Amino acid sequence: MKSFIATIFVALFFVLALLFGARNEQLVTISYFVAQGEYRLPVVLGVVFLVGFLVSWIFAVYHIAKMKLVLRQANKKIAQLEAKLPTSNLDVVTVEDQVKSKELNA
């Protein structure tokens, strides 16, 4: 649900950028490393906003995938450690009794 709301929020910003650009129909000169071109302001704003969104989205997906991998590994480790725990309550009580008796003797 949060991602849907975030997507709607980004789409609204994109539309606002296009509306702003539509009201400003100036030509903008963009110099590349090897060339130069003149474009309308709405096109430049839309492309720059879209490229920025895509780059941010790629970084977010990378970090989310990395966190999910770490979480999966941690859950596997927890499952392995839980499998090593004593299965009956008698074993746990015995260990607790030993700890209590050591504390009383100390």
pLDDT tens digits along 29-86: 888 888 899 988 878 877 888 899 899 999 999 999 999 999 999 999 999 988 888 7
Q: 7-13 — which CB contacts under 8 Å span 24+ positions?
A: 10/53, 13/49
Q: In angstroms, what CA-CA distances link 106 with 48, 93, 99, 100, 102?
A: 71, 20, 11, 10, 6
pTM higher than 0.75 = no
Q: How far apart are CA 2 and CA 93, in angstroms?
A: 46
Residue where the block lists tokens 């509306």: 19
Q: Dihedrals φ, ψ of 36, to 5°? A: -145, 145
19 compared with 84, residue with greater pLDDT: 84
Q: What is the pLDDT of residue 88?
A: 59
